[in-house]
Chains A and B, each alone.
Chain A
Amino acid sequence: MDFSVVVEYFPRLLEGAWVSVQLVALSVVLGALVALPIALARISQNWWIKGFPYAYIFFFRGTPLLVQIFLVYYGASQFDVVRESILWPILREPYWCAIIAFTLNTSAYTAEIFRGAIQAIPEGEVEACKVVGMTKAQMYRRVLLPRAFGIVLPAYGNEIILMLKGSALASTITILDLTGMARTIIARTYTPIEIFLAAGGIYLVISMVIIAIFRQVEKRQNRYLGTVSIKVPDKG
């Protein structure tokens, strides 16, 4: 084995890693924004309101991410409306196709995480909102969402790590993310073991940084919450 190639190509691998981080960061932020209304609609008692998010979540969780990427990348160009729209310059870029696919995919998982967190808030705390005469909107803004934020953190951190690993699929549509870059280097140097080991190491470091950040935020956020256990309100 010859690890001098790793030293030589390390800057290129870091370039690829930076693209991976961008893909993940952009899609989890956008994904969370998309997830919030979907989660709220999913909680609704009304079938007309929860029907769409139900199907949306079912589709994106039930099909492979790779298929979703291909659908956006190859599928979008099939439609004249898309090719003629002002969005075409964006939709034709593999980079943005990957972000769109990742965003849609992670939003489905994140919506379920949000829903779980909101529904895990003890019923008594919700009733405490009702008895002071809060409207639904006030209840969500002032109590349920801030409260859910603390509950959501561990699962959400986990979803970001999954997204990081899934982002390697971006390399299948010509993006030079960490995996894509590694494959390009290997095509030139024929040293797959060394380069993939190095790429794997970089993925690990990024994961560890994400975990560390979430641990910190969680510790701060849940400092005074005790254990966020799911308590059943008593019916004395």
Chain B
Amino acid sequence: MSKAPALELIDIHKTFTDVEVLKGISLKAYDGDVISILGSSGSGKSTFLRCINLLENPTKGEIIFNGESLKLASSGRDLAAADMKQLTKMRQQIGFVFQSFNLWPHMTVLQNVMEGPAHVLKRPKQEVMDYAEHLLNKVGIADKKHMYPNQLSGGQQQRVAIARTLAMDPQVILFDEPTSALDPELVGEVLGVMRKLAEEGRTMLIVTHEMSFAKEVSSEVVFLHKGVVEEKGTPDKVFNSPDSERCRAFLSSTY
């Protein structure tokens, strides 16, 4: 196993004003890994995920994507991208699915999915359209392609958001609590799509509170507590015999 990780985070720190929210988190994701990130609210899960593609500038740390280290330069107390070209290139290859979907409401479902490949990657229009329709079909929304996001339910919007992410052919996809904003009866349809992606061998980092889903699809589970990795291992290890007392307490309270 000499293959380099697809994504490697080394010693990520983040301080907001005077609170250190991330206290040195390291993580490696190899191709095909599905890593679930668990932790109670406020433990830093979103901040960590957002530091990976610099939606949030880390205070310290290194981000290596495909063996290439992201160039960072000091900007105040934090580190900001030193090479915007490199950053946008990297972002094109790392998908991000938000808790609140964040579809562009002035575009139809189809336009939302086509936007990235057509205007960022500048792929041929017809090819992009065919692929977008294929993806909408895959997430079960093909019949809604000419509708606008506000005409859809939350579960449908999130599935469109996943299709929008897949349209970029990302090498790694980051999910930040993709089902937390959904009514309980809509959670299943989104998890179904994500399960399919996991089975396809996609590389994913998933922040979630869906414990049985995490247990089932993950190759690795990470438990964050107050900005540090408190427990990490196979789902079997973390769910059934965690070393950390806090992890055990967290799991018994939520699962």
Docked CA distance A166–B225 (Å) = 61
Distance of B159 from chain A, by nearest CB (Å): 15
Residue on A with the closest CB to B96?
A: A131
Given contacts A133-B88, A135-B88, A128 and B98 within 8 Å (CB-CB)? yes
Residue on A with the closest CB to B91?
A: A133
Inter-chain contacts of B176 with A (CB < 8 A):
236
Instruction: Please pick, from A127, A138, A142, A224, the residue contacting B105 in the complex, using a CB distance under 8 A.
Output: A224
Q: Would B106 and A146 count as touching, CB distance under 8 A?
A: yes
8 A-B pairs closest in CB distance: A224-B148, A133-B92, A124-B102, A133-B91, A131-B96, A132-B116, A128-B102, A133-B88
8 A-B pairs besides A131-B53, A133-B92 with CB distance below 8 A are A122-B102, A128-B103, A130-B91, A134-B88, A146-B106, A226-B105, A226-B150, A234-B99
Q: Which of B177-227 contact A (CB under 8 A)?
A: 177, 180-181
Docked CA distance A233–B55 (Å) = 13
Mark B residues whose CB is within 8 Å of A: 41, 46, 53, 55, 84, 88-96, 98-106, 115-116, 119-120, 147-151, 164, 168, 176-177, 180-181
Given contacts A132-B92, A133-B92, A124 and B120 within 8 Å (CB-CB)? no
Q: Would A125 and B102 count as touching, CB distance under 8 A?
A: yes
Inter-chain contacts of A223 with B (CB < 8 A):
148
Distance of A143 from chain B, by nearest CB (Å): 6
Q: Would B41 and A132 count as touching, CB distance under 8 A?
A: no
Docked CA distance A127–B161 (Å) = 13
Given contacts A125-B102, A132-B116, A147-B106, A234 and B181 within 8 Å (CB-CB)? yes
Inter-chain contacts of B105 with A (CB < 8 A):
125, 147, 224-226
Inter-chain contacts of B115 with A (CB < 8 A):
132, 142
Inter-chain contacts of B119 with A (CB < 8 A):
134, 138, 142
Output the residue of B55, B105, B151 with the most chain A CB within 10 A: B105
